[in-house]
């Protein structure tokens, strides 16, 4: 997608948000009264100074500000579309390599759009905003869709999402936003907004292939996430990766062999993800919805105890994952892609753009010739 198309698709998605958000697995008691449409832009960047280059940025991170003032999303268009040389993708079945290669970028666009624009934007926090004042019916509290009983917890004056959920919060929230993407991408009306298909359900068509690639990509990200788990401290080093591992577990538990990890070799060197695309609607999406509902309700009601138990269960790396799968993920890891960034120079009063060849030498030359003031 080029910038203009992306900005247009994101615009249509934000416009459609009031119709899409009620499809999420909670009632209006747990949703903001009014969806705060984010400001968004897709930019081409000349250079990005930092240890890594993100595909998109969503600010601010303070949920209390996001609740009341809204948020802003910036997609970095030429980061999203930067092409890497074609190579066989580990853990994807031979028969899926082609469809995955063909639609992975489109799938990532859909995932990022839903994650950033609707995922982080949706969901209410039940708060006592000042002593005795509530942003929900305190005398008649909403019924939790998980327990079927009125909710008992909420944010007290001065408490915020960050202060209650603490260090676990960022990854938990990333997981909630990723689950929103996985919950909504099987909606063919939404895929049509992104320019895929005609809104009719058709898993064999273009929209269906984008959807299949979305789910496959998430499952694969859950496997490769293990690179970012440290066996010594038994801790996760990257919030998004921890989130994707949780979602892989949700897929694996969806039943009816919706998603399985196949292998015949004891060292898992031939491990492949088998994901049944005909069961995304019947098994994958409902499993995501049930998990997402818990993430949302525990967040909305400041229920740290339940949220912590759920998230720790799903992100716990068991013996098989730590001892067997992680070493295989490391063995098959490809060197991380680097971006070769251009520089500008003043020559005879004119700004000149200098680009570099896509090689390690090119990248080093680009750094050497960049002057930091
Ligand atoms: Zn996010």
Same domain, 359 and 311: no
Same domain, 145 and 191: yes
Structure tokens at 71: 């948020």
Same domain, 157 and 280: yes
Q: Following DSSP, what letter does each residue of 56-70 receive, concatenated?
A: EEEE---HHHHHHT-
> pLDDT tens digits, residue range 162-190?
999 999 999 999 999 999 999 999 999 99
Separation of alpha carbons 26 and 43, rounded Å: 34
Residues 6+ apart with CB under 8 A from 351: 344, 345
CA of 44 from ligand 1 middle (Å) equals 20
The per-residue pLDDT for 270 is: 97
CA of 177 from ligand 1 middle (Å) equals 6
Same domain, 295 and 324: yes
Same domain, 211 and 303: yes
Average model confidence (pLDDT) for the chain? 92
Same domain, 327 and 347: no
CA of 264 from ligand 1 middle (Å) equals 36
CA of 46 from ligand 1 middle (Å) equals 23
Between the CA of residue 59 and those of 54, 71, 221, 245, 350, what are the distances in Å? Answer: 13, 6, 24, 24, 35
Residue 372 has pLDDT above 60, yes or no: no
Separation of alpha carbons 215 and 233, rounded Å: 30
Residue showing tokens 């958000």? 21
182 CB-contact burial (10 Å; exposed 0-12 / middle 13-18 / buried 19+): buried
Residues 6+ apart with CB under 8 A from 132: none
> pLDDT tens digits, residue range 290-324?
999 999 999 999 999 999 999 999 999 999 999 99
> pLDDT tens digits, residue range 19-66?
999 999 999 999 998 887 777 778 888 888 777 788 777 777 777 777
The per-residue pLDDT for 85 is: 66
Separation of alpha carbons 230 and 145, rounded Å: 36
Report, as an integer, the average pLDDT of 191-211: 97
Separation of alpha carbons 42 and 112, rounded Å: 12
CA of 120 from ligand 1 middle (Å) equals 7
Q: Report the domain count for the chain.
A: 2
Same domain, 221 and 203: yes
Same domain, 278 and 347: no
Residue 373 has pLDDT above 60, yes or no: no
The per-residue pLDDT for 34 is: 85
Separation of alpha carbons 97 and 88, rounded Å: 7
> pLDDT tens digits, residue range 337-352?
788 889 998 899 999 9
Separation of alpha carbons 293 and 276, rounded Å: 23
**What is the span of the domain harbouring residue 217?**
3-332
Q: What percent of the chain has pLDDT over 70?
A: 97
Tell me which residues are annotated as active site.
Answer: 116
Report, as an integer, the average pLDDT of 97-120: 92
Separation of alpha carbons 28 and 295, rounded Å: 16
95 three-class SS: helix
Structure tokens at 327: 């070493």
Residue 93 has pLDDT above 60, yes or no: yes
């Amino acid at each position: 997608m080029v910038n203009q198309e992306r900005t247009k698709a994101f615009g249509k998605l934000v416009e459609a948000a009031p119709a899409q958000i009620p499809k999420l697995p909670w009632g209006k008691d747990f949703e903001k009264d009014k969806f705060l449409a984010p400001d968004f832009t897709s930019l081409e960047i000349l250079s990005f100074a930092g240890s890594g280059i993100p595909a998109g940025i969503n600010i601010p991170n303070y949920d209390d500000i996001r609740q009341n003032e809204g948020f802003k999303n910036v997609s970095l268009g030429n980061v999203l579309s930067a092409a890497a040389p074609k190579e066989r993708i580990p853990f994807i079945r031979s028969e899926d390599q082609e469809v995955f290669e063909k639609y992975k970028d489109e799938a990532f666009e859909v995932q990022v759009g839903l994650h950033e624009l609707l995922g982080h934007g949706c969901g209410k926090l039940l708060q006592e905003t000042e002593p005795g004042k509530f942003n929900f019916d305190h005398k008649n509290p909403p019924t939790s869709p998980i327990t079927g009983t009125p909710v008992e917890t909420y944010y007290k004056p001065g408490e915020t999402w960050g202060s209650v959920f603490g260090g676990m919060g960022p990854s938990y929230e990333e997981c909630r936003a990723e689950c929103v993407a996985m919950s909504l991408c099987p909606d063919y009306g939404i895929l049509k907004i992104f320019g895929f298909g005609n809104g009719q359900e058709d898993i064999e068509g273009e929209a269906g292939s984008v959807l299949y690639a979305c789910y496959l990509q998430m499952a694969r990200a859950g496997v490769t996430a293990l690179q970012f788990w440290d066996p010594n401290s038994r801790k996760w080093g990257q919030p998004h990766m921890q989130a994707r591992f949780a979602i892989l577990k949700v897929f694996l538990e969806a039943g009816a062999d919706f998603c399985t990890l196949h292998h015949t070799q004891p060292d898992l060197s031939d491990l492949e993800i088998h994901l049944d695309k005909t069961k995304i609607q019947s098994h994958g999406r409902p499993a995501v919805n049930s998990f997402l509902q818990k993430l949302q309700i525990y967040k909305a009601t400041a229920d740290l105890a339940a949220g912590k138990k759920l998230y720790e269960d799903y992100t716990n790396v068991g013996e098989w994952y730590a001892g067997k799968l992680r070493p295989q993920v490391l063995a098959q890891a490809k060197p991380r892609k680097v971006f070769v960034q251009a520089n500008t120079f003043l020559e005879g009063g004119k700004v000149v753009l200098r680009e570099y060849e896509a090689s390690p030498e090119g990248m080093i030359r680009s750094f050497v010739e960049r002057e930091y003031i």
